[in-house]
Structure 1
């Protein structure tokens, strides 16, 4: 784990003893009241608080404008100091947009956006764009927009409505630093057209997939959500070639652990919209998309039932078909992957337990050895309720598992192996007697 590096507080020189008296002499020479300038006390307090705020500004951003701000503070020109720090904040936000990528901004805005457009943006529009690009969050936008209003009415940039004191200036400085200057890092936008072309192009190799995952990780949350949603749409389109569908899954798989609540919500909304519009082919593909990303828990109960039930049914069909010893492993592995994504729906609970157990004890020709490891893992993951269903089914002659176990022979031998996979502490009291009897 990286250790936190403490920020170094700049050491500013003490105010020269000549500065404050010089201000007194200046206003006296001009024949104006001393109160038109900041008082000596206000200047001293503002100067005292300045290092604490400067400490939060990365060293590479403490340039000419910051120096001018400090000089203005030392003479009590808070209105000029506000203008300098605001300009520094605006310039830094513009640089963040440049880093994000002007062509990408143009794609998001769906209009031309070049350097001249960036320079021509009014401060209010600049803040709105930064919010849209997630360069500043909603709190940052709120406070910086307040600073913009204060700067327009109380700084040296325009004729002022009044004066600000040291506390008001320090608050203004703190917000400019905290929400604009404190973070020198900048997210890089992803070129949307290049992303779509890559996904719909040839099959990704490992390095190519990793590069796109990294690019989406480095962009901001809002664009990442948009691109993941686009990948979902590409996957669900019946006209999409299989290689493009696999590319979409590769990218999303690399990002699943960082899916925010907003991304999950957007995917579910789009999935639900496919149902509402009756796009059955797209809906089926969307179900598969959630399954392959391990997100079945986001679907409603009926859709979860459909996926589990279909996986169980296919395994049972293969188990009872030709060449089952060779065909079972792939279907058993798939059912295991589905089962690891959440609790088994109640509506398919009994069917699931009996199918897995029947396949594990085998049929009249034996068991599929290559599939045993998948069955064993599913059985080891049985909940107490599923264990109870397993034991009750094994003692009841009215279902396939019961008929096999009660017939004895290899079935009984393999079923005892099944029971050995279960922790006795997980066996419910209601079936403990039957469990002991079956273990004998």
Structure 2
């Protein structure tokens, strides 16, 4: 970007101002003083250098001429108009059709944009994340100054060189800048694509890139829509898969508002007794690994049901081949936050019983899941595990009558970190390590 170096014209300009005001018979004091003009002129280049070359339009050239003439009120108007034009361009680059979807206005076209009052334009830019909250605050002050102290309206007073430079600097920093301009996602087109058929990896990547480039408010709207599509019993499976694939790319960075919206919609399903959507919503949370957002009693229910299904498969015919997916699901569930105390007994007993197996052996493909689960046991869960052999349960009976089961139990005890063993079961732990 080429730096701005203003010509040294002040020495030639100032005498002309004296002659001009004298010829008209008006006091020289109606214009800025020589000192103020000189100070503003010397400060202008550093401010103008903040503005990209492509935005240094004729309005800014007129602003400079006005400054050289001591007309700070006119100069204010020129730089403000330049700022308003660029803010409109930012909205256009974002996408007028997308703005229409977000604002709910059926026909938000270029003429509607032009007709917006400056205050409404600033509010729209803030909503679209085209300016920051700081930018909105300072530009709104500039709007007020322009309305009361510029040549656009009868002024209520005059501004000096410092106030003018501060005004121009704010416009340059918050309106006339090279900051990243997010581009909105055409929601109507996006939803058509979601429902048209299963995305290819290239399609998924393309939509993820577009969503990543839009602002947080629209992202939240999109995530909520994806949740709704996934939970809708009328949605085709391909649409549900697409919705999950897109949303999962952003799961680790959900904003607090997005999380709140998920929870509110989930609770609405419960309140309305919509069991199908409620179950689908639970699955959505599970797939995105955000179960920690759900209430403890819901997490309890999910883990308990998964444990029951695993135990049922474990005790059924051909269990060694059927266990792995059930073991994996239980592991996935238990890794998504702290396990509620109310379900720890059932969880630990199921994991350890299935891990130890029976007199015929174990499910080798499920064993890695069991090992990982046991390594991650909390002190409370370790205490439950070390207490199981002395209680009345399937594990205790197997260990009593099968030495291979007994040996496998000892192997799993060796996976426990000594630092997690409560003193209450320390002696049992030491005994099994012998």
| Equivalent in the alignment of 1:135 | 130
Q: How does 1:383-398 map to 2 (within 5 A)?
A: 383-394=378-389, 396-398=390-392
Match of 2:212 in 1: 217
Deviation at 1:9, TM superposition (A): 6.1
Give the structure 2 partner of residue 351 of structure 1.
Answer: 346
Aligned partners of 2:401 and 2:172: how far apart in 1? 78
Match of 2:93 in 1: 99
2:2 and 2:406 mapped to 1: Cα distance?
73
User: Scaled by the length of structure 2, what TM-score is found?
Assistant: 0.94
C-alpha displacement at 1:81, in angstroms? Answer: 1.4
Q: Which of 352, 358, 361 lines up with 1:363 in the alignment? A: 358
After TM superposition, give the deviation of residue 114 of structure 1 in Å.
2.0
Equivalent in the alignment of 1:416: 410
TM-score (norm 1): 0.93
Q: Secondary structure at the match of 1:243?
A: helix
What is residue 70 of structure 1 aligned with on the other side? 64
Q: State the shift of 1:11 in Å.
A: 4.0
Aligned residues: 433
Query: In the alignment, which of 87, 106, 115 is matched to residue 110 of structure 2?
Result: 115
Q: How far did 1:380 drift?
A: 1.3
2:42 aligned with 1:48, yes or no?
yes
Q: Distance in 2 between matches of 1:164 and 1:134?
A: 31
Name whichever of 208-217 and 424-433 sits farther off.
424-433
**In the aligned structure 2, how far is the partner of 1:131 from the partner of 1:218?**
16
Give secondary structure in 1 for the equivalent of 2:365: helix
d(CA) in 2 for partners of 1:375, 1:59: 63
Which residue matches 1:196?
191
Give 1:119 deviation, angstroms: 2.3
Could you tell me how far 1:408 is from its partner in structure 2? 4.6
In the other structure, the counterpart of 1:238 is: 233
* Corresponding residue of 2:316: 321
Q: Is the 8 A contact 1:397 1:403 kept in 2?
A: no
Once structures 1 and 2 are overlaid, which stretch shifts more, 231-240 or 181-190? 181-190
Structure 1 residue 427, shift from structure 2 partner: 2.1
How far, CA to CA, are the matches of 1:9 and 1:297 in structure 2?
53
Q: What is the alpha-carbon distance in structure 1 between the residues aligned to residue 179 and residue 60 of structure 2?
A: 15
| Residue pair 1:312, 1:355 contacting (<8 A) in 2 also | yes
1:47 positional shift: 2.7
Q: Which whole-Å deviations, capped at 9, do the CAs of 1:125-167 have from their partners, x for residues lacking one?
A: 3223223322223333333233222212221222222211122
Residue by residue, what CA displacement relative to the aligned partner does 1:210-253 show, whole Å, maximum 9, x if unpaired?
11111111111111111110111111111112111111100000
CA distances 1:268-296 after superposition (whole Å, capped 9, x unpaired):
11112222222221111111111110111
Residue 166 (structure 1) aligned with residue 178 (structure 2)? no
Distance 1:275 1:9, change over 3 A: farther
Query: In structure 1, how many angstroms separate the alpha carbons of the residues matched to 2:5 and 2:315?
Result: 81
Q: 1:342 aligns with which of 337, 340, 343?
A: 337
Q: Which moved more, 1:352-361 or 1:123-132?
A: 123-132
Structure 1 residues 421 and 37: CA distance shift in structure 2, 3 A: same
**Residues 10 and 68, structure 2, Cα contact 8 Å, conserved in 1:** no
By how many angstroms is 1:51 displaced? Answer: 3.1
Cα pair distance change 1:167/1:421, threshold 3 Å: same
* Aligned partner (choices 184, 187, 212) of residue 182 of structure 2: 187
Judge conservation of contact 1:58–1:184 (CA < 8 Å) in 2: no
Q: How far apart, in 2, do the equivalents of 1:389 and 1:217 lie?
A: 45
Gaps of at least 5 residues in structure 2 are: none
Cα distance in 2 for residues equivalent to 1:343 and 1:313:
19
RMSD: 2.0
2:427 corresponds to which residue? 433
Distance 1:207 1:151, change over 3 A: same
CA positional deviation for 1:265: 1.2
Structure 1 stretches lacking a partner, 5+ long: 1-6
Which residue of the partner structure matches residue 81 of structure 1? 75
